[in-house]
Amino acid sequence: MMRFVVSLLASLALCSAPPARAEFDVARLKAAIGAAIETDYPRLDAIYKDIHAHPELAFQEVKTAAKLAAEMRAIGFDVTEQVGKTGLVAIYRNGNGPTVMVRTELDALPMEEKTGLPYASRDKTTWQGRETFVAHSCGHDIHMASWLGTAKTLVSLKDQWHGTLMFIAQPAEEIGAGAMAMLWDGLFTRFPKPDFAFGLHDGPFPYGHINYRVGVGSSNSDSLAIKFHGRGGHGAAPQQTIDPVLIAARFIVDVQTVISREKDPIEFGVVSIGAIHGGTAENIIPDEVVVRGTIRSFKPEVRAKMAAGIERTAKAVAAMSDAPPPDISITEGAKAVMNDPAVVAIAEKALKAAFGDKFRTSPPVTASEDFSEFADSGVPSMFFHIGVYEPERVAAALNGTAPPLPPNHSPLFAPVPKPTIQTGVEAMTLAVLSAFEQPARGN
Ligand SMILES: [Zn+2]
Ligand SMILES: [Zn+2]
């Protein structure tokens, strides 16, 4: 806080006084940020509703990226387009100091929005060869509006900090591919490698509230695909066949013992089989069956243990039926988001002072997020969550007097825009300002 504390005091002609308490100054900054948002909000609201009504899927976010690029250029950022296919990198230099990265996602989901909002999406596109509705049901449009509002606010407060802002708009988070696409396209070589990075996600809890944690924030996500081979034949003469349907069925049941008998029960780990494909008719034993599933964990050692157990179980069930060994493919997806203790400690001070007990630690989420790739590339990071619903509605849903509130990925997910975006801008702006008070780490 020191630099803006000093400059605030200097502007009050009190420069011989010692710096005041951080809480006091954060409150003043929060007020300045609040005033900036109030001025910017009508524009942010219009952009939010336009992006919400016209969502685009992973790596198709051409119009969305163009809208953000135009806004960022208008406030003085140097914008590079098509980084990682449809991503943006926007840089704003303001003297010597650390480089701080702020990330938003750009993509929406292939699903139909059913909120009935006046700005609901009715747009359709082609996805995996089929026509589908598109909707911002994960709330990435809230993140874009908060990202833009944070950029505007930080530029308006540029006498309070020194360094470089690196605002990135990442494609294809929903398919876990966009962060890697940007890194492969030179995100940290063509542009400055940041000293700190921040990201946020919205969720179905009260607006004005912020959840965060130190260490693991989301799960490792891996996918499994196993092809069991058998010997096809007549359903009436199973003795002449090797039945891959039965082998797959055994696998689906037995693989859960990796979770219940092999993994430490205190550690988080999930295996869910989401698809099974085999056979064409009731009286034909097919010659192969494919099962697909997802594997989630927080810790690398649990992840490795589950992968080994899954592989062993698949081979064992095939051997039990005297079938050929199965083809096993376990593909690494997003890694767990790791919140850097030092970065969190710094941001925590400012956010605690600004939001009091509405800024809380929360358990890690079992969903995954490819923001983890930036930390994994060596950038100390913090990812936090902001709420989207009226506090009274959340309370009523919790005490059972109202229906549960739609979570992310529900066709009914409907954040209340103004207080949600306002909190996103306030929290992110304070987090970035707190990071500018730290020395660059010399990556
Ligand atoms: Zn999502
Ligand atoms: Zn999301």
Residue 11, pLDDT above cutoff 90: no
Looking at all shown ligands, the one closest to residue 170's CA atom is: 2
**What's the gap in Å between 285 CA and the centre of ligand 2?**
41
The predicted-structure confidence for 341-371, as pLDDT tens digits, reads as follows 999 999 999 999 999 999 999 988 888 899 9
State the ligand closest to the CA atom of 370.
2
For ligand 1, the distance from its centroid to the CA atom of residue 440, given in whole angstroms, is: 32
For ligand 2, the distance from its centroid to the CA atom of residue 201, given in whole angstroms, is 7
Q: Tell how far the Cα of 218 is from the centroid of ligand 2, in angstroms.
A: 12
Say what the pLDDT of residue 6 is: 38
> What spacing in Å lies between the alpha carbon of 174 and ligand 1's midpoint?
5
The distance of Cα 140 from the centroid of its chain, to the nearest Å, equals 9
Question: How confident is the model at residue 98, as a pLDDT?
Answer: 96
Look at 176 and 18; give whichever has higher pLDDT. Answer: 176
Ligand nearest to the CA of 104: 2
Question: In angstroms, what is the span from residue 430 Cα to ligand 2's centroid?
Answer: 22
- Render pLDDT for 314-332 as a digit per residue (tens, 0 to 9): 999 999 999 999 999 999 8
Rounded distance from Cα 70 to ligand 2 centre (Å): 23
**222: Cβ–Cβ under 8 A, 6 or more apart, which residues?**
294, 295, 296, 303, 307, 330, 331, 332, 333
pLDDT for residue 22 is more than 50 = no
pLDDT digits over 173-217, tens only? 999 899 999 999 999 999 999 999 999 999 999 999 999 999 998
CA of 335 to the centre of ligand 2 (A): 15
pLDDT of res. 440: 57
Please give the distance, rounded to the nearest whole angstrom, from the Cα atom of residue 369 to the centre of ligand 2: 7
pLDDT value of residue 174 = 93
| Confidence at residue 441, expressed as pLDDT on a 0 to 100 scale | 54
List 145's β-bridge partners, or say none. Answer: none
pLDDT score at 8: 41
**Residue 24: per-residue pLDDT:** 42
pLDDT classification of 443: cutoffs 50, 70, 90: very low
How remote is the CA of residue 138 from the centroid of ligand 1, in Å?
Answer: 4
Burial class (CB in 10 A: 0-12, 13-18, 19+), 372: buried
Residue 410 Cα to ligand 1 middle (Å): 10
**What confidence tens digit (pLDDT) does each residue in 63-85 have?**
999 999 999 999 999 999 999 99
CA of 75 to the centre of ligand 2 (A): 26
Q: What is the pLDDT of residue 439?
A: 63
CB neighbour list of residue 216: distance below 8 Å, 6 or more residues apart? 298, 299, 336, 337, 338, 339, 364
Q: Which ligand is nearest to the CA of 410?
A: 1
Q: What is the pLDDT of residue 309?
A: 98
Q: Ligand nearest 203 Cα, by number?
A: 2
The predicted model scores a pTM of: 0.85
What is the amino acid identity at position 159?
D
pLDDT at 40 over 60: yes
Q: What pLDDT, on a 0 to 100 scale, did the predictor assign at position 87? A: 98
Give me the chain's average pLDDT, please: 92
Using an 8 Å Cβ cutoff, are 314 and 326 in contact?
yes
How far apart are the CA of 371 and the centre of ligand 2, in A? 10
**Distance set, CA 185 to CA 60, 85, 90, 316 (Å):** 17, 8, 15, 42
